Structure 1
Amino acid sequence: MEIEIRERESKGFAIAREDGKKAGMMTYSIPGSDFIIVDHTEVEEAFKGKGVGKQILYKIVEMAREKNLKILPLCPFANAMFKKLNDIQDVLK
């Protein structure tokens, strides 16, 4: 699974691909210099139940740690994952 993060102005997204096919995407907003807001997660039907959303979230968490950012998870999926996973609590806003 390849996961790439792209940003333009005040928006960003992480896209997951497997064998050239889009597996899922997570989008976020950049309202300031110290945090991001994860606002949407989608996983393609063929990849549901394979942990794609979680892998994408971990990639965004890794990026947030590198940039010293906090994450505000407004997306229901991301919010549920932050409640469930103790190893990513350090970046929770």
Structure 2
Amino acid sequence: MKPEFQELLLVDNRQNHRFELTVLDSTAFIEYQENDEAITVLHTVVPPQLEGQGVGTAIVEETLQTIEARQRLLIPLCPFVKSYLKRHPEWQRLVVPAYLRWFQQQQL
């Protein structure tokens, strides 16, 4: 994550089921569903004015850290998050085991 994003606060907007990261008065977010065991990430949105600046990577990393801190597993349905996990396999440790097997087969 770029240093300029490390101090930004990830907000869990539970009412709208979104993790939000506000940068320069614009908000990127990841939509999710949650149960007692796992958080399913559905969709990532980065406003056009923030694209190409590393905001997408920052919100994914912050979201994964939050999921890990909550001791939950991850079901990555969002294509952007899936792509991140392919590039950073160390985070695959959070993926629900049954889904991880399928996910890894898709990478072959």
Pick the TM interval, shorter chain: 0.7 to 0.9
TM-score (norm 1): 0.84
Moved over 2 A (4+): none
For 2:30, which of 4, 26, 30 is the aligned residue?
26
Instruction: Write 1 or 2 for the structure with the bigger share of strand.
Output: 1
Q: TM-score, normalised by structure 2?
A: 0.73
Query: Is structure 2 residue 65 aligned with structure 1 residue 62?
Result: yes
Q: Which runs of 5+ in 2 are unaligned?
A: 97-108
Q: CA RMSD in A?
A: 1.5
Partner of 2:102: none
CA distance in 1, matches of 2:54, 2:23: 13
- Please say if 1:16 is aligned against 2:21: yes
Structure 1 gaps of 5+ residues are none
Identity %: 20
Aligned to 1:35: 38
Contact 1:15–1:22 (Cα < 8 Å) also in 2: no
Larger relative helix fraction: 2
Aligned length: 89
Could you report, residue by residue, the CA deviation over 1:10-53 in whole angstroms, capped at 9, with x for unpaired residues?
x621111123x1241111011x2110110010111111011111
Counterparts of 1:6 and 1:44, CA distance in 2? 17
Q: Distance in 2 between matches of 1:56 and 1:5?
A: 11
